[in-house]
Amino acid sequence: MKKIKYCVAIIFCVSLLWSCSLHSTTYIKSKERFLLGDNTHGSFRVKLKNVSESEIEIHRAPIGGGRHSGLTVAPGQTVQVRVESNTALVISNNSEAEAAVQLKVVGDTGLSMNYKSN
């Protein structure tokens, strides 16, 4: 009986963690950027994999202004980023081709999602 309760508790915890995350393959047109979390929100973490054939650039942008923690992500590369409260993760595609990224977002998932021209 103890083993059954333990297994049920494990399954519950795993399903709870899975439900508090967002999974997406996001496509970004040439010379555009994708803003994740350009609104008031709590902190979140992102596991990002560049699945395109060209580099992308990412940085954090507090909604009050500014920019920090820039990083270039090579094709096939995976990075993990912690994003502070009220800060957007900006994913820029400066190439001539469409870019694609696979995202797993954990934490506050009440995030706005917008595209803007570079």
Of 39, 18, 36, nearest in space to 26 by CA: 36
- Quick check: 48 and 58 in contact, CB under 8 A? yes
Percent of the chain at pLDDT above 70? 83
Q: Please compute the mean of the pLDDT values over residues 37-41 and round it to a whole number.
A: 96
Residue burial 45-83, b: 16+ Cβ < 10 Å; e: rest: ebebbbbbeebbebbbbebeeeeeeeeebeeeeeeebeb
Q: Specify the DSSP class assigned to residue 53.
A: S
Q: What is the CATH number of domain 23-117?
A: 2.60.120.380
Strand partners, 88: 61
Predicted confidence (pLDDT) per residue in 57-94, tens digit: 999 999 999 999 999 999 999 999 999 999 999 999 99
pLDDT at 70: 94
Tokens 């979390």 locate to 37
Predicted pLDDT of residue 6: 53
**What is the reported pLDDT for 21?**
85
Cβ atoms of residues 99 and 27 within 8 Å = yes
Nearest residue to 36 (alpha-carbon basis) of 19, 50, 48, 51: 48
Q: Exposed, middle or buried: residue 16 (CB in 10 Å: 0-12, 13-18, 19+)?
A: exposed
Domain ranges of the chain: 23-117
